[in-house]
Amino acid sequence: MNEPDPNSHPSFFHLAERYPQLEPLREEILAAYEVLRTGFSGGKTLFLCGNGGSAADAEHIVGELMKGYLKSRPVPGELRKQLVRQHPTDGNYLADHLQGALPAVALTGHSSLSSAFANDVAADMGFAQQLYGYGRPGDMLLAISTSGNSTNVVNAVKLAQVLGIASIGLTGGGGGLLADLCTVTIRVPERSTPRIQELHLPVYHWLCEAVEEHFFPDA
C-alpha cells in the first residue's frame, strides 16, 4: 500500500499539534486514510462496529461520512438537471437539500436483527453475520474496541479477512487481538477506556476530514 503524501493533508499537522501523543501514529493514520480512499474510490462501502461507547463512535462516524461534514457537498449539476426534468415543481428543492455521501453503515443499530441473532444463534457473531450478509470484496470494516479483544468485533475482522474486506482497527495502546488481525491498526497510547475513547475521536474526525477533502475538493 502506497503511503499518501502527508503534505497533501495539512490538517494532519494541526492534529499532531493539538494531540502530540498521536504524532507517532502518523504512518498508521495515513495508512488507514489510504484504505478508505481506495475503497470509496472503487464505490465500496465502509462498515463499522463496536460496543458501548465504541458503538456510539461508529454511529458518529457514519453521520460525518453520509452527509456534509465540513463541506456542503452539493450534488452534481447533471443530477440537478435530471431532478428538475422529472420533477419541475420541486426538483431544485430536492437538489438543494441533498449532499454528497460516502457510503457507510454502522452494524450497531439493527436492534431486531441483532437481538434475534444473539438469542437464536450466538451473541458474539452478530457483527460477523451482518458483514457476511452485506459485505463484498473491496469493502472496508472499521473495528473499534478499546481493548482490541471484543469478541464480536474480533469475529467480524476474522470474517473480513476471508471475504477480502480491508479492516482498520481502532484500539488502545495494547492493541489486543486486533493488532495482529487488521489490515491497519491504530493503537492510541492510552490504557483506560475513557482516555482511549478521548483519543479515538480526533483520529476519526481527521480521517473523515481527509476523505471529504479528497472526494469533495470543490464543495
- The hierarchical CATH code for the domain 6-66+101-215 is 3.40.50.10490
Cα–Cα distance measured from residue 49 to residue 120, given in angstroms and rounded to the nearest whole number: 20
Residues near 171 by beta carbon (within 8 Å), at least 6 away in sequence: 144, 145, 146, 147, 148, 178, 179, 185, 186, 187, 188, 196
Question: Which residue type occupies 51?
Answer: N
Query: What is the grid cell recorded at 112?
Result: 431486531
At 219 the pLDDT is: 67
pLDDT tens for the chain, residues 1 to 219? 344 444 445 478 889 999 999 999 999 999 999 999 999 999 999 999 999 999 999 999 999 999 999 999 999 999 999 999 999 999 999 999 999 999 999 999 999 999 999 999 999 999 999 999 999 999 999 999 999 999 999 999 999 999 999 999 999 999 999 999 999 999 999 999 999 999 999 999 999 999 999 999 986
The phi, psi pair for 106, rounded to 5°, reads -85, 130
Phi (first) and psi of residue 59, to 5 degrees? -65, -40
pTM confidence score: 0.94
Domain-by-domain residue ranges, the chain? 6-66+101-215
Helix axes 53-65, 193-215, angle to 10 degrees: 10
pLDDT of residue 12: 82
Q: Are 153 and 127 in contact (CB under 8 A)?
A: yes
